[in-house]
Structure 1
């Protein structure tokens, strides 16, 4: 089941966010993510955060602000079970357009987004960590 995150779930979601970044973005110093954690917790309260729940366990989530996907994260032990795809499908059913940024070195995420009709529209270097990233867009009806 996918539903909006409840305020009392911020700690669980924050831990999934931190662990997800540490494993998926291991090319970035872990202190970068640790320093960002407090700010991210605040941002969760402003964003639309949807959690994937199975057997009363939050297994993953996606955060969206103004049609921008801030990230899709799945707890490590539940990866490769289609949860990320289900979260993305949920967004595609509820939004007319979506955008996101993905690191050049995050090949798995790039493949997921490209498979789902996202198109790379630009690339840049993120100033905070000097990593190359792609800006991607998806518009409903253009992913066939």
Structure 2
């Protein structure tokens, strides 16, 4: 398995992976939000970010990470491959000093994953980035 940079032709598969992962981990997110976000992920967010793909031997994506400068904007693993160290390997691939991430408070598995990796809580917002009532925990990778 390898990690490689996203190309535009990957976007439909990555958006489908995003949807599978969100359905498996974001049970607080209403169905209409998933439908509204899907084309934004595929057509806007993925092309705008630095996306690295963890690829299976058959070249299908098992997960991906998307960053913007010093911030992890997205990290999604196909539910069929969760718990196999893919998220850790993707974070290792993009690791830099003081890397930041925002995590939905209603997603305790993700919060625990980032804490276990070495991130620490540095703040909280009652609303998400779109001003919706989904609290967000702001985290930063601890300095070595």
Q: Same fold judged by TM-score > 0.5?
A: yes
C-alpha displacement of 1:96 = 2.6
Shift of 1:129: 3.4
Q: Displacement, 1:138?
A: 1.5
Question: Who is 2:67 aligned against?
Answer: 64
Q: Hey, what's the Cα distance between the residues in 2 that align with 1:101 and 1:70?
A: 8
Q: Which residue of 1 aligns with 2:17?
A: 16
Partner in structure 2 of residue 75 of structure 1: 78
Which moved further from structure 2: 122-131 or 109-118? Answer: 122-131
Match of 2:55 among 46, 53, 56: 53
Q: Which moved more, 1:6-15 or 1:34-43?
A: 34-43
Structure 2 residues not aligned, in runs of 5+: none
Shift in Å, 1:88? 1.2
1:136 aligns with 2:139: yes
Normalising to structure 2: TM-score of the pair? 0.89
Name the one with the larger strand percent: 1
Verify the 8 A CA contact 1:28 1:129 in the aligned structure 2. no
- How far is 1:79 from its partner? 0.9
TM-score, with length taken from structure 1: 0.89
Tell me which residue corresponds to 2:105: 104
2:50 aligned with 1:43? no
The range that moved more, 124-133 or 23-32, is: 124-133
- Distance in 2 (CA, whole Å) between partners of 1:3 and 1:98 is 20
Provide, for residues 46-69 of structure 1, a one-character-per-residue CA deviation record: whole Å limited to 9, x for no partner.
100000012122100001112211
CA distance in 2, matches of 1:117, 1:79: 19
Alpha-carbon separation, structure 2, partners of 1:58 and 1:40: 16
2:139 aligned counterpart, secondary structure: strand
**Residue 85 in 1 paired to residue 115 in 2?**
no
Distance in 1 (CA, whole Å) between partners of 2:8 and 2:87 is: 22
